Chains A and B, each alone.
Chain A
């Protein structure tokens, strides 16, 4: 007999392939999934092209980006010992966003499908490096957050400036849409660019899982348990920069997943910050895939941006959090 927490996790795990199938059949054009699958990768039939070149990479990207955001959020909350932390606090998202915006501003994004995401990942790493250096030697969690807030504020100011002086309405629209986050028109190029970074980040965070566990006792106790020095915090920061930076680079800024998902998963893994990593990756993947299915099936004049969908999921979550806190439950 499975315990309730494990049962829900098993359900989430089972739901992921079902959601994947749902994502593959979703779209404006009905596709015969069985035929398209059997025709294979190289087939020229329209069904196969839609499936293999459009829907599959998009669905896989949703899974990958969601997993990176969920895992990054879990690591961030674990490292800062704060349930309200999210990866964006470290400037990862705004670093990636600013790099992308500059490219859109100068209208260079069309040069190559690789250029924008590659530069955005570079931007994410630069922002985290700035935060790390600003926080200084032996920085405590609160000093890291403070440095993150400072760098974030500066990057946001630069982004506002870029929007303010956008060369054309078209560039401005592109920037705003990019900031809202989207998985539309993403293909294998973006997926293959993001995969190594997200995997590398995931491996780093997984290696730091015992550090995050020890940190639930506080920094001094973690140090006495053998997690001393700059190595472990650096590992977590690099992991977040790599995974979340790559996710933002290919999909734009998608908020709330990194904040909400670890919160929801924590009771299911008995509050263990180590197991929270992979369970948040799983739930983040599922959440973003479902959100993207909603986006695909939403019929309107304008494409619905996935960042707007996750924000709509995030806001009620906080209402629920406040209500349960008022009932005297633990935050």
Chain B
């Protein structure tokens, strides 16, 4: 089982059409190891679609995606699954599996590794969910289920982690814990891409921000570069300010524009 530890992902001139509606237009961006990237933008900006293209769930209409310089079309589906792990915005388990069994599904691309149980336990520990390892997932609250699903994302060895609004449904403690987790994953050399709505969390934990608007990439760069009241105000249609204190940003929306 050889897995590349580091992985660079690039989207080149990506466009996506669904039912004659342009969801993404001309997006070029790349994601590097050791980097935690947040994809932000208003509802319907195309965040989820971009993440789905990157994860191989959707195929872009135009343009292509490369993993470590290799076009994804050249990579088998199984190999691609070993390179990137993805958590969709909403994932409803069909059966009442136990939390531990649901997490173990994240190891499917690697067959049945011998240390499966240890890895599952470790992943559950990461998201503070070891206490309901044996509870059926249908008996968990929304936030608890989300944490178990995050453990499913983290249990494998994929060097590229993609999560769509992972902090939604989580309480503030687990939001912070989760972002710290993703930060640690990035510091360990993984490439992490998250879609986020909370701009304060994005500014505080992420190295890079992609700001999407109407399927277009409006800006990309460090949080300081992207999160300016003028740019964010224009994209979201609100007046706002960012209060920076020791590298921690406070995003304060003021009023509708």
Contact = CB atoms under 8 A, between A and B. Distances in A.
16 contacts: A214-B105, A215-B94, A216-B94, A220-B88, A221-B86, A221-B87, A223-B57, A224-B88, A224-B162, A225-B109, A226-B80, A227-B77, A228-B56, A271-B136, A330-B96, A330-B138
Interface in A212-237: 213-218, 220-221, 223-229
A15 to B, nearest CB: 26
Q: In the complex, which range does the number of interface residues on chain A fall in? A: 20 to 34
Contacts of A220: 52, 57, 86, 88, 91
B141 interface: no
B214 interface: no
Contact of B95 (A210, A229, A271): A271
B78 interface: yes
B101 interface: yes
Nearest to B87: A221
A272 B101 contact: yes
Interface in B220-234: none
Contacts of A214: 105, 108
Nearest to A210: B108
B198 to A, nearest CB: 23
Contacts of A81: 94
Interface string A242-285: 00000000000000000000000010001111000000000000
B2 interface: no
Most buried by A among B56, B92, B94: B94
Most buried by B among A218, A221, A270: A221
A273 B97 CA distance: 10
Interface in B47-98: 52, 55-57, 77-82, 84-88, 91-98
A270 B88 contact: no
Contacts of B94: 81-82, 215-218
A270 B97 contact: yes
B97 A226 contact: no
B243 to A, nearest CB: 37
Contacts of B56: 223-224, 228
Given A214-B105, A220-B52, A271 B97 contact: yes
Given A226-B81, A228-B77, A330-B138, A217 B96 contact: no
